[in-house]
Amino acid sequence: PIASNETLIVVPPDAILTDDGMGIEGQEYGILKCPTVRRLLKEMKLGNDSKFAPYMDYLKTQSYGQLPNGWSAAGKQLLLQVLGQHDEDEENDLPPGNPVDLIEKEWKLDCGGGDDPFEYQAALLLAQRGWDDIMIPVYDLLNHRNG
């Protein structure tokens, strides 16, 4: 059995992926923390030269489309219909609200991101596996975002 107050996971602070100063002081962000996505993209592109190389290698193995935001247009439309969010009547909509616009609204509009599927994947990985504006190896296996 696990004892009360027993430490289960210890992650050194230098193993935590942050925006590393890529943000703009005082800049407000929505759900998606743009500077952290940009840092994640940078580290993923560095490959073996990244100080986070093993973690980046692991993240690159993750399937695209795990969140509804990464689904096809037809898949997104079907989800919106199931949730009752396909029309202007919001009174009977089921949660979560806006389950498919993270890429279009947050990444492309708010962050000024591009159309590259690799960029989409980085944004979705932060949404799915991040803890606000940071990514913590091992802790992210305790996934908490399911769409």
pLDDT tens track for 93-110: 888 888 898 898 899 999
What distances in angstroms separate CA 61 from CA 74, 77, 125, 126, 135, one per listed residue? 25, 27, 11, 15, 16
Note whether residue 71 is domain-resident: yes
Domain assignment of residue 27, given as a range: 13-141
Task: Note whether residue 45 is domain-resident.
Answer: yes
20 confidence band (pLDDT: 50, 70, 90): confident
Average per-residue pLDDT in the chain? 89
Q: Which residue has the higher pLDDT, 17 or 132?
A: 17
Burial of 37 (0-12, 13-18, 19+ CB in 10 A): buried
C-alpha to C-alpha distance for 7 and 24, rounded to whole angstroms: 35
pLDDT exceeds cutoff 60 at 81? yes
Domain count for the chain, please give it: 1
Question: What mean pLDDT do residues 77-91 have?
Answer: 87
106 within domain boundaries: yes
> Using CA atoms, how far apart are residues 129 and 59, in angstroms rounded to an integer?
10
